Structure 1
């Protein structure tokens, strides 16, 4: 059988639903990639948007042949939401590598070239780094949270312990994706990035954490506490399905202060000293992550991060266990 040669090396898959505020910024950043245009395609899957996402995307890409817009009207059996979109875009893609980028993300010009350089023989998935746009203190704390968590993931990746993927900054090989059967075989998950990451690892492929400044993508931040709670409700499903190290880390970081308080009642421990040591440990890791990734504008957030972390962790646990639906992009899950 003669194989058809495709010059496309990278297919960037963008799932978009009601992203009229962000889609043009995303597409502009993808247009600015320093990767050869003849080796790159960017496929936008419009997930039944009911705003101006389609009009804005169509207007922007009309004179750019490396872009392709697809209106997603079909639902694959067993799939819905973003997983359904990405499954269909994967069959449209011609690239050797499938890159994932959300519609509220702006990538750096070096993103595609630097991420693809991390693939080695046997590597099935590469996970990048994302932070928030520098707009307000909450956004900076969210950025610090991502850098901190991804720094921990980077540490475990060095000893070959997989933690999770990240759907707004991740790349997989075409071979690995279709060998494990793609999203059709994986089935629906509200945390489709984690499901794909673990399926590829389970398929015998290796993984890399691309922890460097050149691959950092910039996301639009959550601007209200209610938006943050909705996002974290979804994330917690991924945490609870993930590797035991991830679950343990969340429970320890969320409950360590109450635990130390209770222990101090029954045992002769120095509560203030224990909390101070914990603050210094977390702050040290935060500052190290910030420095390695050269995100120096986050120094204030790094110093305050411990207070945010012990608070948001507890809130996430309570919010997760409350009997309520997970709502994402206007849909209930």
Structure 2
């Protein structure tokens, strides 16, 4: 009985932690009112795309960027030592569009296959000071993408975090899992930014002023880490005073999701490996949330099987689920991911298991690739 009593009070503490995260921290974004601005931005924008062996994606998606309704922008295309037709396709587009600039990166021994090196050259080559980043396999959902992201730049707000969604595939559990993880991650980084402790952004949809790049000496502090050109940079450069969030639906980009669990697992290993380089306060807050998720499920199942104080246990389980459904439901509505909420408990458990597997895999060996 003593063990069950300890487990019960531990469960109460875990539920309190979970409710605080979902209702208070994540609720700062989920339950916030959308602020629509009618301001017209006149910032000249350099859209920067780094591509490595992305010939087919460039053919399909580059026009959606070139066709943006915005008065003054260029597109900086970085060929990161591709061995397919990426450079040829870049040059073909350049012959038809005067606002394209090509940066052709050749491998050097010190920065062999390093995306951050290629991006650094692209940033330095950009004509304009306001930089907007996306990936070669991404496309904006509207021709207002640049305008929507640009609106959020002010004299103080020099970093803008956007949302990069993944294409929806019907009747695919893996696709729902990928989009649920993307929803949860976005809810986290938008919420943290909302309360003044921004910790990451995604390179699929991210903007910042060139000065922010040079203030941190670019990527130099984490150049040897293959991933993190987006989240590690934001973790270093962003603060409560210089960061804005943009989640208007015309500002979204979409990407092609992985079609196999193996490929997605490999991708997430690379993403997760950067988290240990975050500032301590961010690591602590994220680890506390993740551990409380694991403990919630473990303790809920254990206490339910034991039937110890089952009415109270059931009430705590329902309380946590109601708060979670409300918070992620409102976030999903903002980010157009409502269909993932139907399978929330199943997706959450699956994601927890996979995240733990990724943690173990990264402890055994380091993912040291970007393409």
* TM-score range normalised by the length of the shorter chain: 0.7 to 0.9
Q: Secondary structure at the match of 1:60?
A: helix
* 1:103 lines up with 2:136 in the alignment: yes
1:25 matched residue in structure 2: 60
Deviation at 1:53, TM superposition (A): 2.2
TM-aligned CA distance change 1:325 to 1:207, over 3 Å: same
1:1-333 paired onto structure 2 within 5 Å: 9-36=44-71, 39-75=72-108, 77=110, 80-107=113-140, 108-136=142-170, 137=172, 138-189=174-225, 190-201=227-238, 206-242=242-278, 243=282, 244-262=284-302, 265=306, 268-269=309-310, 272-293=314-335, 295=336, 298-322=337-361, 323-326=364-367, 328-330=369-371
Asked which structure has the greater CA Rg, the reply is 2
Deviation at 1:329, TM superposition (A): 4.2
Instruction: String of CA shifts for 1:267-307, please: whole Å, max 9, x gaps.
Output: 535555544444433332232123224x2xx4332211331
Q: Secondary structure at the match of 2:56?
A: coil
Count, aligned residues: 318
CA distance in 2 between counterparts of 1:292 and 1:120 reads 23
Structure number with the bigger relative contact order (C-alpha 8 A, sep ≥ 6) is 2
**What is the Cα-based RMSD across aligned positions, in Å?**
2.6
Q: Secondary structure at the match of 2:98?
A: coil
TM-score by length of 1: 0.85
CA distance in 2 between counterparts of 1:78 and 1:46 reads 15
2:22 matched residue in structure 1: none
Q: Where in structure 2 are there 5+ consecutive unaligned residues? A: 1-41
TM-aligned CA distance change 1:78 to 1:56, over 3 Å: closer
Q: Where in structure 1 are there 5+ consecutive unaligned residues? A: 1-6
Deviation at 1:67, TM superposition (A): 1.1
Contact 1:80 1:188 survives alignment (8 Å): no
TM-aligned CA distance change 1:79 to 1:252, over 3 Å: farther
Deviation at 1:224, TM superposition (A): 0.3
CA distance in 1 between counterparts of 2:115 and 2:310 reads 49
